[in-house]
Structure 1
Amino acid sequence: MKKGRKPANLFKTLSGIWWILVTGSPWNQLPERYGKWNSVYRFHLRWSLRGVFPELLKQTAAEAQSTSMDEFKVIDASHLKAHQDACRHSLPAEERTLGKTKGGRNTKLNACVNGAGKALELTLAPGNRHEILFALEVLGDVSGKVVLADRGYDSDKLRESIFEAGGFPMIPPKSNRINPVFYLSEIGRGRRVVENFFCRIKRHRRVATRYERLTETFISFISLAAIADWVRF
Structure 2
Amino acid sequence: MTDAPGNLVRFTRIPGQHYDTVGVAPRLQPTDFRRLPADRAFDVHWIVYAIRAQGACVVIPQHSNRLDRCPFDGALFKACRLIERFFCKHKALKRIAMRSDRTDRSFAGMNHLAAAIINS
Taking structure 2 as the reference length, the TM-score comes to 0.87
1:113 to partner: Cα distance: 0.8
Aligned to 2:19: 130
Give the equivalent residue in structure 2 for 1:211: 100
Separation (CA, whole Å) in 1 of partners of 2:92 and 2:42: 26
Identity among equivalent pairs (%):
25
**Structure 1, gaps ≥5 residues long:** 1-111
Q: Quote the offset at 1:205 in angstroms.
A: 2.6
What is the CA–CA distance in structure 2 between the aligned matches of 1:157 and 1:220, rounded to whole Å?
31
> Using the alignment, how far apart are the partners of 1:193 and 1:179 within structure 2?
29
Deviation at residue 204 of structure 1 after TM alignment: 2.9
Give the counterpart letter for 2:84 in structure 1: E
Q: 2:32 matched to which residue of 1?
A: 142
Moved over 4 A (4+): none
Q: Partner of 1:193 in structure 2? A: 82
Gaps of 5+ in 2: none
Kept after mapping to 2: 8 A contact 1:142/1:166: no
2:97 is equivalent to residue 228 of structure 1: no
Residue 45 of structure 2 corresponds to 156
Q: Is the 8 A contact 1:119 1:226 kept in 2?
A: yes
Q: Deviations over 1:53-85 (max 9, x none)?
A: xxxxxxxxxxxxxxxxxxxxxxxxxxxxxxxxx
Amino acid in the other structure paired with 1:161 = A
**Aligned amino acid, residue 182 of structure 1:** P
- Indicate the SS of the match to 1:200: helix
RMSD: 1.7
Paired residue secondary structure (2:31): coil
**Count of residue pairs brought into register by the alignment:** 119
Task: Please report the TM-score for the alignment, with normalisation by the length of structure 1.
Answer: 0.47
Higher strand residue share: 1
1:166 corresponds to: 55
> Is contact 1:117-1:194 (8 Å) kept?
yes
1:128 CA drift (Å): 1.4
Cα shift at 1:142: 3.2
